[in-house]
């Protein structure tokens, strides 16, 4: 059988052969690639040399094809996961984990790495080479290279079990999301909902074989508008409860998976000499320790809580006044917040949708990249895709003179795609077999789909999400590093959100909105009045919004700093942690933890705080842009040079100071949020 995963890519720029790859190709290709790599590794081990080129470059070349196959598989597993792919995912994950451990726990390979590390200062290496050998040595140690043989055996078991559990956790969340459908048969129950939403719900019902009714799924473009605009409190409650109990006491229950993950992570950390999983994780973060994270979160909590309490009081009074509600519930929050926003700001997010046609927003973000960094994006149709929704672009620099990379977009929800939004380095920038190559970067989102009568019209939140993920994409695209392990977004996790979160600031600026915000029917430019309301809305209910983000961060830190046997009942544990940040009554039968994929199936364990941490960086950095002009090429050039191009080649605080001329000021975040 011909296997495209084992052939040299023939598409333009060596793009992944998504159009030719089938699920049945993966396991045979992986087995062959790993067998070949193992043979080469045995030869590698027999050589006595321990210089940098041999230990780093040659070793990376040996594993290149395995990395390539894994990259294609996991990109598809997130964005286009068929039943066949899902079926083989445990075997793929297990085989790759075992292969990685075979390298990181091999005493001969580690001895070579250690000798290279010990002699690094006498090899005449450049700063990037020094950084990569230090990072490589540390990754071997953090993977258990210094452990006794019996402990290494246990480490292998832990890593394989964790890889499998994380995958199962993620699959359960996706299945629970896909299984639920709220069917509405009486048009009166749609009162308050925008026409565009009602049309989408009717189309979904038709697709599900329920023509004549309206169906609402748990995908973000449906659940968020429903909770924001539906006047039917009982239906809001029903949908909220369904969303807040995903993978909890249902057919896809994640409670035991969660407990097992915590237990295994803790055992792994202790095996490596750390008190907790959080201690292990934070050794490689800007924050450095659980105490520093908790102090940071506490500082924000103290500032945000009084504002949140005032905002809560306003919502309670409004709910009482309008509907006689004595006890405001969490499923009421978005609804009454939206009414309050209309009262106080004379503003409704739905007023913006006609100005945010997806294609125009994408065109606008390309114009922002051109004005800041001189980039141009050209859509191409000869690059293989894994789904018809995907669009592909060539990115050029210096007025089209220099190829920067390939850029893929995938914007609409479907049952084969996990929820949320993310950027993925399909092919990371850096060295491949002796040659430094440009990256292939993808952003995946779940935005409002077009209907039969309307194009895809985004909410303000969706526009912010697009800018956020595009910021990650720029970090990947503009990378100028030699080694892939240091390039693009391969930086400390609490620094990686700076390039993404800073991009959101442009959405609130007139100079940016004037580039793309035109009414999709009339061509009318967005008014100055609406722009002012968008800016004001950025601070609206910011106290409650901050408290909500802090609640996730506190919960994450709690899970990863306590002894696992303290987590007997997940809802009880959640409640104990949430008491401090929650102003709403607890609702029985719900759990956010069992669907908290960021920390149990993604890379954010003991790292959810990094969103807020990076907000301090991005608020401080954007103040610099505002002072000099939001499209100031000189400031943009510094941001590109020191933040976007350098990857992980230099400690992030040093990079930030080189860009900004100072350490970040937490006051910048408080000023922007109106919490000072």
Given the residues 394, 462, 469, 645, select the one marked as catalytic.
469
Of 602 and 443, the structure prediction assigns the larger pLDDT to 443
Mean pLDDT of 493-516: 95
Q: What is the DSSP string of 155-184?
A: HHHHHHHHHHHHHHHHHHHHHHHHH--EEE
Q: Is 40 a catalytic residue?
A: no
Nearest in space to 176 (alpha carbons), one of 247, 78, 240: 247
The conformational region for residue 519 under phi > 0 = left, psi -120 to 50 = alpha, else beta, is: beta
How far apart (Å, rounded) are the C-alpha atoms in residues 510 and 531?
6
- To which H or E segment does residue 239 belong? helix 233-244
pLDDT digits (tens, 9 = 90+) for 321-353: 999 999 999 999 999 999 999 999 998 888 999
Contacts of 104 (CB under 8 A, 6+ apart): 110, 139, 140, 143, 144, 145
* CATH number assigned to the domain covering 354-541+611-673: 1.10.1370.40
Among 672, 647, 665, CA closest to 499:
647
Q: How many CA atoms lie within 13 A of 328 on its CB side?
A: 23
Residue 400 has pLDDT above 80, yes or no: no
Is the per-residue pLDDT at 434 higher than 90?
A: no
pLDDT (average), residues 275-283: 97
Supply 362's token pair: 């994408």
Contact partners, residue 189, CB within 8 Å, separation at least 6: 232, 235
Q: Centre a 10 Å sphere on the Cβ of residue 302 and count the other Cβ atoms it contains.
A: 10
Q: For residue 433, what pLDDT is reported?
A: 87
Whether the per-residue pLDDT at 398 is higher than 80: the answer is: no
Burial group, residue 113, by CB count within 10 angstroms (0-12, 13-18, 19+): buried
- CA angle in degrees (0–180, nearest 5) for 115-120-126: 145
Do the beta carbons of residue 53 and residue 418 sit within 8 Å?
no
Place of tokens 């639920």: 180
Average pLDDT over residues 376-384: 96
Residue 187 pLDDT greater than 80, yes or no: yes
Burial of 569 (0-12, 13-18, 19+ CB in 10 A): exposed
pLDDT of residue 401: 83
In the numeric block, which tokens belong to residue 636?
Answer: 């943009």
Query: How many CB atoms neighbour CB 195 within 10 A?
Result: 12
Res 1 pLDDT > 80: no
Helices (H), 389-506: 460-477, 498-504
Q: What is the pLDDT of residue 599?
A: 97
How would residue 676 be classed by pLDDT, with cut points 50, 70 and 90? confident
Instruction: Note the pLDDT tens digit of each residue in 27-53.
Output: 999 999 999 999 999 999 999 999 999
C-alpha to C-alpha distance for 606 and 615, rounded to whole angstroms: 17
Average pLDDT over residues 75-87: 93
Domain limits, the chain: 4-104+106-146, 180-244, 354-541+611-673
Q: What is the mean pLDDT of the chain?
A: 95
Tell me the mean pLDDT in the region 581-597.
95
Instruction: Give the mean pLDDT of 522-551.
Output: 94
Could you tell me which residues come within 8 angstroms of residue 211 by beta carbon, excluding any fewer than 6 positions away? Answer: 205
What pLDDT score does 602 carry? 85
pLDDT in tens, 102-152: 999 999 999 999 999 999 999 999 999 999 999 999 999 999 999 999 999
Place of tokens 């994408």: 362
Q: Is 432 helix (H, G, I), strand (E, B) or coil?
A: strand
Q: Where are the alpha helices (H) located in 449-541, listed in sequence order?
A: 460-477, 498-504, 510-513, 528-537
Mean pLDDT of 65-71: 95
* Confidence band of 377 (pLDDT split at 50, 70, 90): very high
**Percent of the chain topping pLDDT 70:** 100
State the Rg of the chain over Cα: 25
Neighbours of 118 (CB within 10 A): 12
419: pLDDT confidence band, cut at 50, 70 and 90? confident
């Amino acid at each position: 059988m011909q296997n495209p995963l084992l052939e040299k890519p023939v598409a333009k720029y060596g793009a992944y052969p998504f159009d030719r790859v089938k699920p049945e190709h993966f396991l045979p290709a992986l087995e062959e690639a790993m067998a070949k790599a193992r043979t080469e590794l045995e030869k590698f081990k027999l050589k006595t040399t321990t210089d940098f080129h041999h230990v780093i470059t040659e070793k990376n070349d040996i594993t290149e094809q395995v990395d390539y196959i894994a990259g294609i598989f996991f990109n598809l597993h997130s964005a286009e996961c068929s039943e066949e792919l899902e079926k083989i995912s445990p075997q793929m994950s297990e085989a790759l984990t075992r292969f990685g451990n075979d390298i990181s726990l091999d005493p001969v390979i580690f001895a070579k790495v250690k000798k290279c590390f010990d002699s690094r200062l006498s090899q005449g290496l450049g700063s990037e080479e020094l950084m990569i050998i230090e990072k490589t040595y540390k990754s071997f140690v953090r993977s258990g290279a210094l452990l006794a043989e019996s402990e290494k055996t246990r480490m292998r078991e832990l890593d394989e079990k964790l890889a499998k559990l994380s995958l199962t956790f993620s699959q359960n969340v996706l299945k629970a999301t896909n299984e639920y459908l709220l069917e509405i048969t009486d048009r009166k129950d749609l009162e308050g909902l925008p026409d565009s939403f009602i049309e989408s719900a009717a189309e979904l019902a038709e697709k599900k074989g329920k023509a004549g009714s309206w169906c609402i799924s748990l995908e973000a473009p449906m659940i968020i508008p429903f909770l924001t605009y539906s006047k039917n409190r009982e239906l809001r409650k029903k949908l909220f409860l369904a969303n807040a109990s995903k993978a909890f006491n249902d057919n896809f229950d994640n409670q035991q998976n969660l407990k097992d993950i915590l237990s295994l992570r803790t055992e792994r950390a202790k095996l490596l000499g750390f008190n907790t999983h959080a201690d292990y994780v934070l050794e490689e973060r800007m924050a450095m320790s659980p105490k520093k994270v908790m102090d940071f979160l506490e500082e924000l909590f103290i500032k945000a809580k009084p504002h949140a309490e005032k905002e809560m009081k306003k919502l309670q009074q409004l709910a009482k006044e309008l509907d006689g509600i004595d006890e405001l519930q969490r499923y009421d929050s978005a609804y009454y917040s939206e009414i309050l926003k209309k009262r106080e700001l004379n503003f409704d997010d739905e007023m913006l949708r006609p100005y945010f046609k997806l294609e125009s927003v994408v065109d606008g973000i390309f114009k922002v990249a051109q004005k800041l960094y001189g980039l141009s994006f050209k859509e191409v149709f000869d690059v293989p895709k894994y789904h018809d929704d995907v669009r592909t672009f060539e990115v050029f620099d210096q007025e089209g003179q220099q190829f920067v990379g390939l850029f893929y977009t995938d914007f609409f929800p479907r049952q084969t795609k996990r929820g949320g939004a993310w950027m993925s380095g399909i092919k990371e920038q850096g060295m491949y077999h002796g040659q430094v190559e440009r990256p292939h970067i993808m952003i995946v989102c779940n935005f409002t789909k077009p209907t039969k009568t309307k194009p895809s019209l985004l909410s303000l939140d969706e526009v912010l999400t697009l800018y956020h993920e595009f910021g990650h994409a720029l970090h990947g695209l503009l990378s100028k590093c030699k080694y892939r392990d240091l390039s693009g977004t391969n930086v400390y996790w609490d620094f990686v959100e700076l390039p993404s979160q800073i991009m959101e600031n442009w959405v609130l600026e007139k100079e940016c909105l004037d580039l793309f915000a035109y009414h999709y029917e009339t061509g009318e430019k967005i008014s100055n009045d609406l722009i002012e309301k968008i800016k004001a809305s950025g601070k609206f209910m910011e106290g409650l919004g901050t408290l909500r983000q802090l609640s996730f961060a506190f919960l994450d830190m709690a899970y990863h700093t306590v002894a696992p046997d303290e987590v007997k009942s997940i809802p009880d544990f959640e409640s104990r942690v949430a008491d401090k940040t929650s102003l709403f009554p607890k609702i029985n039968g719900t759990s956010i933890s069992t669907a908290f994929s960021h920390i149990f199936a993604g890379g954010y364990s003991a790292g959810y705080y990094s969103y807020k941490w990076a907000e301090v960086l991005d608020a401080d950095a954007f103040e610099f842009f505002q002072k000099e002009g939001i499209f100031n090429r000189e400031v943009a050039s510094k941001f590109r040079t020191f933040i976007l191009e350098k990857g992980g080649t230099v400690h992030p605080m040093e990079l930030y100071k080189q860009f900004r001329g100072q350490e970040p000021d937490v006051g910048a975040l408080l000023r922007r949020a109106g919490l000072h």
